[in-house]
Structure 1
Amino acid sequence: MHEILNLVGDKWSVLVVRLLGEGTMRFNELRRAIDGISQKMLTSTLRNLERNGFVTRTIYPTIPPRVDYALTELGRELLVPVTALAKWVDTNRERIDEARVRFDEQQA
């Protein structure tokens, strides 16, 4: 279980899965949509998700080559808990921020 959570539980994988849940995207579309991710990290994240069966990579023989990424059936199943987690964060963002402020004030 720990190994699988490490594969899909990092922040970049969660963001990629959420974005691909909206539909097929190209590499640069993903990169523009994810603030702060480097090309190297996005490449690594997509390869990891593809290797583990969550994402498909389709190459079209055009000039320049076109590459599309999409969720597999397994990836769409993963989207369910990822979406629930995102909703939970949105619902509890203020409580989390308040807890951080209280903690930081106690540490000062």
Structure 2
Amino acid sequence: MDEKNVIELLNLVGRQWTLPVLDELARGARSHNDLARAIDANHQQLARVLRPLVSKHLVHRKVHEASPPIRVYYMLTPRGKAVLACCCRFRTLAAGELDDAM
């Protein structure tokens, strides 16, 4: 991965609402409505966050059309789980808990 890709990924993860979305999806698949409620974001904000996460393959979007109304669910991909694990490490670093490891 070149430097440009790393910076792009860090910028994506650093956007408002991204970490709360990833944290919530780490608990399992969520519908759009449940996810909006869980992170206390409106539907437009959530859509703006989810679009790039889906396009970068951090989050998988699944549409259930079995019966009306159509429901859309989101879940972390393996790549999304790996990114979230890195974010957890950054949180630990930011809290100063890895001073011995440096």
Please say whether Structure 1 and Structure 2 have the same fold, judged by a TM-score greater than 0.5: yes
Q: Which has the higher helix share?
A: 1
Larger Rg: 1
Q: Deviations over 1:40-61 (max 9, x none)?
A: 1100111110001100010011
Q: Structure 2 matches for 1:1-108, cutoff 5 A?
A: 1-35=6-40, 37-61=41-65, 62-87=67-92
Q: Quickly say closer, same or farther: Cα 1:79–1:66, change in 2 above 3 A.
A: same
> What secondary structure does 1:59 align onto?
strand
TM-score, normalization: structure 1?
Answer: 0.74
Q: Quickly say closer, same or farther: Cα 1:32–1:87, change in 2 above 3 A.
A: farther
Q: Quickly say closer, same or farther: Cα 1:11–1:85, change in 2 above 3 A.
A: farther
In structure 2, list runs of 5 or more residues that go unmatched.
Answer: 1-5, 97-102
> What secondary structure does 2:27 align onto?
coil
The letter for the 2-side match of 1:60 is H
TM-score, normalization: structure 2?
Answer: 0.77
In structure 1, list runs of 5 or more residues that go unmatched.
Answer: 93-108
Aligned residue pair count: 90
Aligned identity (percent) is: 33
TM-superposed deviation, 1:63: 0.1
**Maintained 8 Å contact 1:55/1:71:** yes
The letter for the 2-side match of 1:13 is T
Deviates more, 1:14-23 or 1:80-89: 80-89
**Maintained 8 Å contact 1:18/1:83:** no
